[in-house]
Amino acid sequence: MEYNTTRNHLAMREYGRHVQKMVEHILTIEDPNRRQNNTEAVIELMGFLNPHLKNVEDFRHKLWDHLFLIADFKIDVESPYPTPTREALKAKPQPLPYPKRSSKFSHLGKNLEDIINKALAEQDPEKRQGFANAIAYYMKLAYNNWHKEVVHDDAIQSELTNITDGQLEFTNTPYVKAYRMQQENTKSNYGKRNNKFQQQRSNNNSNNNNNNRRNGNGNGNSNFKKKRF
């Protein structure tokens, strides 16, 4: 019996021990044509064992790279793709730098900054005005969500003027429902539903009592007689 402790290291567990033994056997084949044919057969078998790789782009390229990895990069066959190397496998990726940018209105977000720049670059007056109205609405909505209070339109126009150096002015009056008004409406609606439920429950209890009196099951039963001792 062959124990796992006596076997060599399994390069890729996804393909199993048998595929690794096939690749090790290919390394011992001296005929180039026979070695190439056996390698292509092993590639097909690796594809059958891992059908999920078919959903990956260039999955056959990945299979060939895995074959070279299992063979410890010692196999001498012709690959339809660039031959991977051990150095490329162990190479570390370049560190991803953090974005370094300073925004004049970071409290409104990067997306609004892009929209303002696009609005300033717009030449059509109607589209430019539409950008300004949409920007003003978003600014008022953001202020309402963060501060939980209503902001006046003059404050929005003043901030928009400071951001764009007076190049954008909105013409409409952006209506945003106040946060407190939403809370009050929610509480009032909940109170109405609660009162309606209590009233319905009271009506049901009253109807049940009336039915019990009619059927003689309640305290109003006319046939009820006190027990004499």
Residue-wise pLDDT for 87-103, tens only, equals: 888 888 888 887 676 66
Mean pLDDT of all residues in 14-42: 91
Specify the pLDDT at position 93.
83
pLDDT at 224 over 80: no
**What is d(CA 5, CA 16) in angstroms, rounded to the nearest whole number?**
16
**What is d(CA 152, CA 156) in angstroms, rounded to the nearest whole number?**
7
The ranges assigned to domains in the chain are 10-90, 106-164
77, 33 Cβ separation under 8 angstroms = no
**What is d(CA 122, CA 119) in angstroms, rounded to the nearest whole number?**
5
DSSP string, 133-167: HHHHHHHHHHHHHHHSS---HHHHHHHHHHHHTT-
Residue 21 or residue 179, greater confidence: 21
Kindly report whether the global pTM for this prediction surpasses the value 0.85: no
